[in-house]
Structure 1
């Protein structure tokens, strides 16, 4: 089994879609590791605030198979894919890490970890002592050094 970290976000019927995503992932993978949930402003476009969290799953799926499963979950929850990367969405599930794998051709680890507070902070909350794959820096250390903390507010569902 490999521990994979997945970021989850929604700004359309966000509470419903986050709850549904957690339930669906729990049915597929069993016990999940859930970070706190944060409300954050939309990045790159004007839109409703997002709810974001990080979810840990233990899986025997390959990174490609896991990505396909995440895409199917997004589609079932009404995800509309368009040309514009920065747009409102019912659900966004992104594979962040897959064990210690470093594979640039697959985008693992996902570069958003080091770009966005709404990805790094939840990772630092649930895996502060885990190294960012391919480095000797932990998620906790990276968060402590992170310059763009943004406007994030922890919320309860």
Structure 2
């Protein structure tokens, strides 16, 4: 199954996105990443800007299994997933499944410019 996913970081973003991409490639040899773009924080009070990217991953894992793998990568890179306020705080890495590629998942507005790179623009 092919999933469209996003990743972002606003703590040492260049380093953390690089490490996340390395770990994601160990999950699947079939990952296609967009370029990284600088974005403003959304729904978080911080002065730290984000780096974000989109990627397509081809894997036999279910979405629940894939999210578990993403959570492990986030934790390995220093994200505290047990903190109930984690979505409102700066983060080393955030990896999200947007949906199955075949189902044309919604892409946040601030990442729309990256869809063309992945051949997804309509």
Q: CA deviation at 1:94?
A: 0.1
- Larger RCO, structure (CA 8 Å, separation 6 or more): 2
Structure ID, larger Rg: 1
2:117 match: secondary structure: helix
1:36 match: secondary structure: coil
Q: CA deviation at 1:91?
A: 0.3
Q: Which runs of 5+ in 1 are unaligned?
A: 103-108, 129-139, 142-157
Contact residue 5 and residue 99 of structure 2 kept, 8 A: yes
Residue deviations 1:107-146 (CA, integer Å, cap 9, x gap): xx4x5x2x4313x322343132xxxxxxxxxxx24xxxxx
CA distance in 2, matches of 1:99, 1:43: 24
Superposition RMSD in Å = 1.8
2:117 — aligned with what? 125
1:83 — aligned with what? 84
CA distance in 2, matches of 1:59, 1:10: 23
Aligned length: 119
